[in-house]
Structure 1
Amino acid sequence: MTSTRERLLDAYEALIDSVGERRASLDAVARAAGTSKGGLLYHFPSKAALVTGVCDRLENLVRADIEVMRTAPEGAARYYVRTSRKAGTALDTSLLAITRLQDAGYPEAHRVARQVDEEWLDALSEQIPDPATAYVVKLIGDGAYYESLRGDSDAPPRKRPTTDDILSVVDRLTTRQ
């Protein structure tokens, strides 16, 4: 069973996605979480506190992901690229919420987005000694994630490399060092 605090963050992130940050009011968040506004205010006394909660959640989720990445048998580079797809996870939801909060002009969301990007790059750099190669691998993963967000289900099919094809490129890049 999730805590009220987590349900409130889930509701806020879902509202940001469905109706946008401006319409994700405190009343709407409380309603969506199935709690009273007083219950919301107990955990998050303002919208700014909700934003901080989403930022903290993303930081924690990214740190957990990085721990898995560091110990992945396939290596950090392959793990990062292979998992850079929208999968409906809590990490996805938080990343999308942070992106929308950045668009809405929240400086804390900008700071956290930059910070987690650097943390992922640092984790890649631990296993990829060349800084440019580590950065290119990160860009490959970021590009794959962005493309998966677009969900081109209505677009005409076109020839795209498979994930295995892309991982072969990553292997070539990371073994040339």
Structure 2
Amino acid sequence: MTGARDRVLDAYETLLIDHGPGAATLDAVAAAAEVSKGGLLYHFASKDALVAGLLDRLRERSAADADAIRTSPDGAVAYYLRTSAPGGPVPGGVTRSYLAVLRISEGSATGQAIRDALAEVDADAFAALRAELDDPVLAWLAQLVGDGLYLRTLTGTPLPPGLGVEDLLARLRQHFPVADP
């Protein structure tokens, strides 16, 4: 059973993603989470506290995803690209949290905290890729490819017809020291 705090964060993410920051009022979040406003305020005393809670959730999910990247039996690069691509497996809700944070990043009073959280998420993934790839430029290249795939996932843009993540991995394995499954 999901606790009230998680239901509030789930509702906040959904409102941000589906309707934007203007629709994510405390009253709307409480109603969507099916908690009283007092129940919401018990967990998050203000809108800024709610944003901070969402950033903490993103960091936690990102750290778990970085661990999954490092320990994937198929290798870090393969995991990162597969989970970044449209229609790929979604690791632990990190995509929803990331998208929700992106929705509040523009014009937010907590903009620096948001940028810091996103930089931490980026650093987690880079460090996990570096655990497999000794060359930092190759690790960054793999991250940029994954980021491009992730952008397609976030925007709902499909991959080019006839091409998929396995095609990318096959080509990378031809030219770079990327782990084979």
Q: TM-score, normalised by structure 1?
A: 0.90
Relative to structure 2, which stretch is displaced further, 160-169 or 27-36?
160-169
Indicate if the aligned counterparts of 1:69 and 1:80 stay in contact, CA closer than 8 A: yes
Equivalences for residues 53-68 of structure 1 within 5 A: 53-68=53-68
In the TM superposition, residue 90 of structure 1 has moved relative to its aligned partner by 1.6
Q: Secondary structure at the match of 1:63?
A: helix
Where does residue 101 of structure 1 map in the other structure? 104
Describe the SS at the equivalent of 2:22.
coil
Deviations 1:55-95 (A, max 9, x none): 11011111111111111111111111111135565211101
Post-superposition offset of 1:169: 2.2
Cα distance per residue 1:8-45 (max 9 Å; x no partner)? 00000100011211221000000100011000001001
Using the size of structure 2 for normalisation, the TM-score is 0.88
Percent identical residues: 40
In structure 2, relative to structure 1, the CA distance for the partners of 1:124 and 1:61 (3 Å cut) is: same
Shift of residue 147 of structure 1? Answer: 1.4
Partner of 1:169 in structure 2? 171
Partner of 2:10: 10
User: 1:143 aligned to 2:145?
Assistant: no
Could you tell me which residue of structure 2 aligns to residue 118 of structure 1?
Answer: 123
How far apart, in 1, do the equivalents of 2:121 and 2:94 lie?
Answer: 12
Contact kept? 1:128, 1:174, Cα under 8 Å: no
Residues 70, 47 of structure 1: alpha-carbon distance in 2 compared, 3 angstrom cutoff? same
Distance 1:45 1:22, change over 3 A: same
Q: Which residue of 2 aligns with 1:31?
A: 31
| CA shift in 2, pair 1:152/1:34, >3 Å | same
CA RMSD of aligned residues (A): 1.9
Could you tell me which runs of 5 or more consecutive residues in structure 2 were left unpaired when the two chains were aligned: none
Distance, in Å, in 1 between the alignment partners of 2:161 and 2:15 is 35
User: How many Å separate the matches in 1 of 2:37 and 2:59?
Assistant: 26
For structure 1, the 5+ residue unaligned runs are none
In the alignment, the residues of structure 1 paired with residue 13 and residue 175 of structure 2 have an alpha-carbon distance, to the nearest angstrom, of 36
Q: Distance in 1 between matches of 2:148 and 2:160?
A: 17
Pair 5,75 (structure 1): closer, same or farther in 2 beyond 3 Å: same
